[in-house]
Amino acid sequence: MGEDFHVHIVVYGGQFDPAVVGQMPPVDRFAIIQVVKTSLKKKHLNYPLSPEQFFSNDDGNVLRLSPRIKLLRWIDKAAIIETSSTSKEQKEAGTLCTVAQVRESKYLLKLLPLWSSFIVFGLVLSAGNTFFPEQGARMISQRYLIFLLTFEAIIRATISYLSKKLISKFVPETKQRQAQVLRTFIGTVMSTVCCVVAWRVEVRRLEKRKQSENMSMFWLVPQFCLLGLMEGLALHGCDEYSSSHFPERMEEIMITYNNLMWKTGDTLFELLSEALGLDPNYLKDIGCVEEMTIGNSYYPECPQPELSIGIATHSDPGFVTVLIQDQIGGLQVFHEDQWFDIAPVPGALVVNLGYMMQASLITNMFVFMQLITNDKFKSAYHRVLSNKEGSRISIGSFFMNNSCSRRYGPIKELLSEVNPPLYPEITLKDIYNNQSLKNNELSALDKLKLASHSG
């Protein structure tokens, strides 16, 4: 039996507040905590002598449950059926787990040492996506920052492709897993070097600032090169290595979630098209739902939030972002010259219109939605504050189109004598060549507005 749910969708920047009602499919929630708790309670039990002593054993006649890891063998005891009562009674009392639950828990537990080794890497990666651009925005030649970001992306993609190609071509299949671990280790070492280089550059920048001098943005080239190297090696290496160790059920959940987000995107763009007075499929037909990227964000608890940057003011890349956030606050939206808290609502999705919808640019990769709607929709400038209440987790699904050659302009059906076009037809490349990052104040499309409307 599924659970009823209501999804309230707020589209910031537009006059839209639809609600979607449906039914959540039944989900067997992952029970790693229950498995560990149960196995600790049963630690006094002897290991079974027969596979039949395990509850719902789908591992066949094999006595040792997979994955077979000596240090985690005690976890198997969570699935032992005790003779004091029936298996049904033990299951209802929460003192018995299935073999499938034990297996999934062991898969995740064996990855904990690997995940813990990426703490430094994760911190540097976070800084690279937030602090590094902030550094560049406060240096001389800041208008060239987009080229530095593009250069870093090229290095990341090239290193990832070459390392994957070389491993598959020159490393025997039996040793490719070890090669992936080595690749990830080298990337992690690069993250430490990148951190040291960025630290020294920032120290020098602050010293120059005290002397009323500015540094050239090109001092950031080494740390952006190292950032690209470490991402190309460690990030993709970690993804490939970890994905091969995840339980099948988690993969099924991600596939299901991905499909649900595609359907949510289809529905949103139909609603947005109708809000513009267009055919329901109009925005989908012009490529607004061609690509989707899902990103998970983790914000650790901060004991002194007033001293941290948090996530700087920005608009999301792409046309639309569908966000799931937990109950820890921190998300704020800028409206009428002040910041408003977006309080978490249980069971709700938050929908932001991105630059492609609105065409205001801050950290600036994709910019079109305000352009194609001729300023009818505007994207939400927002940020995430650090907090000391607890760790925050959010999952964002970004709908975008990365084509650099495709031309976009105001939708002709929206234009009239009283609503003339504000922008010319442009490409993503035009945005790259005309953007301004100065103090994160000037929209790239403001510079591209037609002369009659730029004043």
Instruction: Looking at the structure, tell me whether residues 429 and 290 fall in a common domain.
Output: yes
Domain finish residue from 109, 134, 161: 109
Residue 186 lies in a domain: yes
- Can you give the pLDDT at residue 88? 83
State the DSSP string of 183-223: HHHHHHHHHHHHHHHHHHHHHHHHHHHHTT---BGGGGHHH
Residue 388 lies in a domain: yes
Domain finish residue from 194, 226, 243: 243
Checking DSSP bridges between strand 3-12 and strand 349-353, what pairing results, if any? parallel
- Can you give the pLDDT at residue 21? 38
- Can you give the pLDDT at residue 430? 66
- Can you give the pLDDT at residue 361? 31
| Structural domain for 357, as ranges | 248-453
Local mean pLDDT, 10-residue blocks, the chain (455 residues): 40 35 42 86 84 70 69 86 84 83 82 73 80 83 81 90 89 85 87 90 89 87 92 76 65 82 89 90 83 83 80 70 86 84 84 53 45 75 83 85 73 87 75 46 55 53
- Can you give the pLDDT at residue 311? 76
Instruction: Looking at the structure, tell me whether residues 98 and 124 fall in a common domain.
Output: no
Q: Which of 38, 130, 23 is nearest to 80 (CA)?
A: 38
Instruction: Looking at the structure, tell me whether residues 419 and 284 fall in a common domain.
Output: yes
Checking DSSP bridges between strand 392-400 and strand 291-299, what pairing results, if any? antiparallel
Residue 11 lies in a domain: no
Q: Which of 149, 123, 122 is nearest to 362 (CA)?
A: 149
Instruction: Looking at the structure, tell me whether residues 149 and 199 fall in a common domain.
Output: yes
Residue 298 lies in a domain: yes
Instruction: Looking at the structure, tell me whether residues 41 and 147 fall in a common domain.
Output: no
- Can you give the pLDDT at residue 453? 57
Q: How many alpha carbons fall within 13 Å on the CB side of residue 351?
A: 26
Q: Which of 274, 277, 342, 340 is nearest to 10 (CA)?
A: 342
**CA dist., res. 428 & res. 110, Å (int):** 44
CB contact set of 306 (below 8 Å; sequence gap of 6+): none
How many domains does the chain divide into?
A: 3
Domain finish residue from 243, 275, 292: 243
Instruction: Looking at the structure, tell me whether residues 84 and 125 fall in a common domain.
Output: no
Residue 4 lies in a domain: no
Assess contact for 354 and 398: CB atoms under 8 A: yes
Instruction: Looking at the structure, tell me whether residues 234 and 280 fall in a common domain.
Output: no
Instruction: Looking at the structure, tell me whether residues 441 and 401 fall in a common domain.
Output: yes
Instruction: Looking at the structure, tell me whether residues 237 and 300 fall in a common domain.
Output: no
Domain of 351, CATH number, reads 2.60.120.330
Give the pLDDT confidence of 209-247 residue by residue, as tens digits.
888 888 888 899 999 999 999 988 887 666 666 666 666
Residue 5 lies in a domain: no
- Can you give the pLDDT at residue 247? 64
Instruction: Looking at the structure, tell me whether residues 165 and 276 fall in a common domain.
Output: no
Residue 253 lies in a domain: yes
Residue 332 lies in a domain: yes
- Can you give the pLDDT at residue 225? 94
Instruction: Looking at the structure, tell me whether residues 296 and 411 fall in a common domain.
Output: yes
**CA dist., res. 247 & res. 250, Å (int):** 6
Instruction: Looking at the structure, tell me whether residues 198 and 297 fall in a common domain.
Output: no
Beta-bridge partners for 4: 23
